[in-house]
Structure 1
Amino acid sequence: MFLLGNKFYIIFISLWIFGLYAIFTTFHSTPTNNDKALEDRIEYLQSEVESLQQKLSQLQSGNNINVKAQVENNDVQCQELREELKRVKRKLASKTNCRTGSQNGPALEYEQLRRKIETQTRELSYFTIDQLYKINEKLSDDDKAKWSKVIARFSDQNRVLLASIRNLTEVDGYQSWREQEHESLSKLMQARLNSLQNPSKPCGEVQRVSCNINKGCGYGCEIHHAMHCFHIAYALGRPMILFSDGWRYNPGGFDQIFQTLSKNCTTALAAGGAAWGRYETADVVEVPLIDNIHPKKDFMPMAIPEDLSERLIRLHGNPFVWFTGQLMKYLLRPQPWLTELLEKKYSDIKFETPIVGIHVRRTDKVGSEAAFHDVSEYMKYVEDYYIIYQYQNPNLKFKKRVYLATDEPSVFKDARAKYADYIFYGDTAVAQSAQLNSRYGTESLKGVLLDIHFLSLTDYLVCTFSSQICRVAYEVMQQRVVDGAWRVQPLDDVYYFGGQNAHNQRAFMSNKANWPNEFSFERGDIIGTEGNHWDGFSKGSDKTSGQTGLYPSYKTEEIVNIAMMYTYPEVKIKTDEL
């Protein structure tokens, strides 16, 4: 039999979620009628919907097969028009809000609270589901059947709540500002990077840094090494010169795959670079591996530039990931042949949305850097995403698509056999080329680049952050989506940058330990986090008291590392250019 305490526990949680849901579903904005183009589109769509509805009424009395097919076709068209009508109305509301008092965008506190509510809701789900399953293990078979219904109901209510939270950005009137701010900051960053890499003076007359991509590890690892160098180059205002001859992925070098980083700063101007210890004075400094820099400087990953920090923190839930995505946008500009390859593949596979990306890493990672995760562990979160997406768009019909990237070809067969109601994109030949005996070389590199590209184009990622490929895809994704920090579900680690400075969080409320291995802390304490267990608890240590162990994830918030970096005063962008 269920314990009385367990019943009250479930009732309390359900009422709490219902209360939040009621609050969010009443949160809306009222558009005004000032945008002529959007108003005309709304009027047209409304008339089309009414016309189709009249046709449907006339046709529904018919019984022959052709008439029924026409009814079905018109019904689909009607639904599509209704969905477009909703989107146009939301866009009009957002634009109107921007003109009538929201030109400066939402308050920082509003954006932080909106993101915090999503994070807290997910943490509540991790904790509650984990505890419910633990209780389930101790029940009789009869009670397990009843308890499974409780778990299912809680999970469903949680999804409804997340759908409401994610729809906030569609109705709060600020989405146009977010899109414009994303584009504005991106254009500013790319202008700065172009200026950095192509100085107005002869390159030999400016201080510069050199970096060798040949770290002797996998593609994601070597790209992150180059990113570490590029991050330092940006912070110091020194152009980066990249050495890549004999690169294991393409012996001809980096520039055969991606566009050259500079028109006038060549490797000949970076010979004989000084050791890192002279980075403040030497003309040319060689950037070592991030793990070999001691002590680390505050401007190193995961820091963001101080002069952009306020804008980045308001724009994005993980400002460093957005900043890194912009560095990658410049670093990994494809050569024309690679652009053609990506576009052809996009057309060949008929890539469509909505779509979720999963990256299943096996081979060398399992047992050394990561645990084995069955396909079902990934697909659980894929299914959650699609249920939430349907709740966000109740009248929309769609196919459930997954882009599957893996280094184990058998995963495709396993996934398609177990989840027949999904459409799986992906290429077993690419998976085969990622095997250990064929991983290094230009053909294998093409497969890796295709996988990263399409993973970054998905709406949501499910992967292991212990994999650098997963982290690269997540970083590249941020170039395209607005505030996409939430668009990932890792199965193991939290996001990190290898060799980073300390990853700290701040306790915004005190905690009294009452769970095994849990430690107490006070409001304001700095917690060094070592990872999220995705069960309501994270592992870490209190920098104030020195205690280590587990702590409730929902009582802490991320500390964004902000550092003084070069401010690029020579880069001027007019407002109308943004």
Structure 2
Amino acid sequence: MVDKLEKVSNEDTLTMENALHDLNKDLLNVAKIKRQIEKGNIEAIQTFDNHRSFKTIKELRNKVTTQSVYKHTKIASPKTLEDVKNHILDHLTQTQNPSDCNKQNKLLCHLAKPCEFACQFHHLVYCFIVGYTTNRTVVIDATDMDYSIKGWEDVFRPVSTTCTSVSADEYDISTPECAMEALHPQDKWMNLTLCQSSHVISLPPLDWLIDPPRYITSGIPDDVAILLSVHISADEALLFWISTLVGFLFQLNDNMEKEAKSFEFGMGINHPVVGLDIKRVDVDNHSLKAYMDHVDRYYDAMDPDGIFIRRRVYLVTDDPDIRSEARDTYQNYQFITNTHYVYLEETGISPITGDELKHNVRDLYILSECDFVVGTFSSQISRLTFELKTFKDDEFEIAFDNMVSLDSKYFFTE
């Protein structure tokens, strides 16, 4: 590996992308071995010794990063995670705001996937993973968005101020099978590699891609992974990367930010407060007690006798019975819920009414502001909450202490 990288430094026989990929793969293998060692796997210890020392890996990683990656990305050596975050955000801002929109290659992202809001939001994140890696401006098509009649900008800031649509002429100069609307899976299968020269790409859901590129299956571009590998592990790098994309997208416009803060004040949400995301639909059920055990431990650590601190919980759930059970069983807690959903449950009105975007955003805004959150990463809402909290935390490591998942570890999917 060292020889290969030194050869790349002296000769142009290999592309930088291949060098980055090889190093990233090598580091991932070492990270897997290291995790097995931490679990007490004796065979892994021997494998690790035979592979190379961790010190050598660290030196190699730093060498390649300083000599190659910074040159490749044209940025100064990022001394902190904040530097890497700013590099990503700057790249997104520049790509989303080209000086000549008509000449810029575009990626059309349809917010019409038939799933809950957090799922649709993660579909948009997936669009931006592709846009970022391919240097395309992402244009949002919210025409058929279930959760808002007025569209994306009714709640969020625009993702671009200079390039917000695709003209008919741009479709005419694009590859037809790459620029068609991605709404019907039976005839919309797409190979992104074959579409790379198309001026416009209308991106289908991930499941409809043929042989998706490596940066999609891994969830993170190689150059970003290497920049982050200097500071954090591969698993942490994925969270950091996705959280940065989420933070770029989850920017409330002025009116929605005022509404969210007014909602928070009106509901009497003060700190400390714990957030609970309890989802019953399409998720393996856990008892309320399983969630509340973590809440008890959080508050007990601050106030063992339960005398000085008001025990507040912001509860987000799709199960009305949970609210009653929580108030009946844990009477020493103040449970706060979004009354909009209580009204829907009592009246039997469908939650898809055309203005659900604001209610979903309020819940996510409050959950991400909570001091501690308990949920399940099988829930899109819990993962999106974790990503928002991670983006907001000044110190990256803090996020891992401020949220608990009752089922899986963190992962990303649209």
TM value normalised by structure 1: 0.50
User: How many angstroms apart in 1 are the aligned matches of 2:160 and 2:105?
Assistant: 14
User: How many angstroms apart in 2 are the aligned matches of 1:261 and 1:319?
Assistant: 24
User: How many angstroms apart in 1 are the aligned matches of 2:82 and 2:372?
Assistant: 21
User: How many angstroms apart in 1 are the aligned matches of 2:312 and 2:227?
Assistant: 34
For the 8 Å contact 1:203–1:265, the answer to whether it is kept is yes
Q: Deviations over 1:379-431 (max 9, x none)?
A: 0122233344569xx9x953332211112333222212211222222223334
Residues 240/488 of structure 1: CA separation in 2 closer, same or farther (3 Å cut): same
Q: Deviations over 1:429-471 (max 9, x none)?
A: 3344489842213443222111111111123221122221111
Task: Say which of 477, 482, 486 aligns to 2:389.
Answer: 477
User: How many angstroms apart in 2 are the aligned matches of 1:279 and 1:390?
Assistant: 59
For the 8 Å contact 2:109–2:203, the answer to whether it is kept is yes
Asked if residue 401 in structure 1 is aligned to residue 309 in structure 2, the reply is no
Match of 2:44 in 1: none
User: How many angstroms apart in 1 are the aligned matches of 2:301 and 2:83?
Assistant: 30
Structure 1 residue 305 displacement after superposition: 3.3
Match of 2:408 in 1: 493
Q: Deviations over 1:543-578 (max 9, x none)?
A: xxxxxxxxxxxxxxxxxxxxxxxxxxxxxxxxxxxx
For the 8 Å contact 1:318–1:485, the answer to whether it is kept is no
User: How many angstroms apart in 2 are the aligned matches of 1:310 and 1:192?
Assistant: 16
Asked if residue 361 in structure 1 is aligned to residue 279 in structure 2, the reply is yes
For the 8 Å contact 1:210–1:285, the answer to whether it is kept is yes
User: How many angstroms apart in 1 are the aligned matches of 2:171 and 2:401?
Assistant: 43
User: How many angstroms apart in 2 are the aligned matches of 1:398 and 1:408?
Assistant: 28
SS of structure 2 residue aligned to 1:240: strand
For the 8 Å contact 1:407–1:434, the answer to whether it is kept is no
Task: Say which of 237, 256, 263 aligns to 1:345.
Answer: 263
Report the AA paired with residue 480 of structure 1. K
SS of structure 2 residue aligned to 1:376: helix
For the 8 Å contact 1:463–1:491, the answer to whether it is kept is yes
Report the AA paired with residue 291 of structure 2. Y
For the 8 Å contact 1:438–1:444, the answer to whether it is kept is no
Match of 2:200 in 1: 284
Report the AA paired with residue 288 of structure 1. P
> What pairs up with 1:156-555 in 2 under 5 angstroms?
181-200=80-99, 202-269=100-167, 271=171, 274=175, 275=178, 276-277=190-191, 278-300=194-216, 302-313=218-229, 314-315=231-232, 318-362=236-280, 365=281, 369-388=282-301, 398-433=309-344, 437-481=349-393, 482-483=396-397, 484-498=399-413
User: How many angstroms apart in 2 are the aligned matches of 1:300 and 1:261?
Assistant: 21
Report the AA paired with residue 316 of structure 2. A
Corresponding pairs, count: 319
SS of structure 2 residue aligned to 1:318: helix
> What pairs up with 1:137-148 in 2 under 5 angstroms?
none
For the 8 Å contact 1:213–1:247, the answer to whether it is kept is yes
For the 8 Å contact 2:148–2:356, the answer to whether it is kept is no
For the 8 Å contact 1:433–1:444, the answer to whether it is kept is no
Q: Deviations over 1:48-78 (max 9, x none)?
A: xxxxxxxxxxxxxxxxxxxxxxxxxxxxxxx
SS of structure 1 residue aligned to 2:258: helix
Residues 182/431 of structure 1: CA separation in 2 closer, same or farther (3 Å cut): farther
Identity rate of aligned residues, in percent? 24
Structure 1 residue 302 displacement after superposition: 4.0
User: How many angstroms apart in 2 are the aligned matches of 1:404 and 1:262?
Assistant: 34
For the 8 Å contact 1:358–1:403, the answer to whether it is kept is yes
Structure 1 residue 485 displacement after superposition: 3.2
| RMSD over aligned Cα atoms | 3.2
Greater RCO (CA < 8 Å, at least 6 residues apart) = 2
User: How many angstroms apart in 1 are the aligned matches of 2:372 and 2:227?
Assistant: 24
Residues 449/301 of structure 1: CA separation in 2 closer, same or farther (3 Å cut): farther
SS of structure 2 residue aligned to 1:299: helix
SS of structure 1 residue aligned to 2:275: strand
Gaps of 5+ in 2: 1-26, 40-78, 179-189
User: How many angstroms apart in 2 are the aligned matches of 1:467 and 1:414?
Assistant: 21
SS of structure 2 residue aligned to 1:333: coil
Q: Deviations over 1:129-170 (max 9, x none)?
A: xxxxxxxxxxxxxxxxxxxxxxxxxxxxxxxxxxxxxxxxxx
Residues 302/442 of structure 1: CA separation in 2 closer, same or farther (3 Å cut): farther
Gaps of 5+ in 1: 1-107, 121-179, 500-578
Report the AA paired with residue 184 of structure 1. D
Find the structure with the greater CA-based Rg: 1
Structure 1 residue 291 displacement after superposition: 0.7
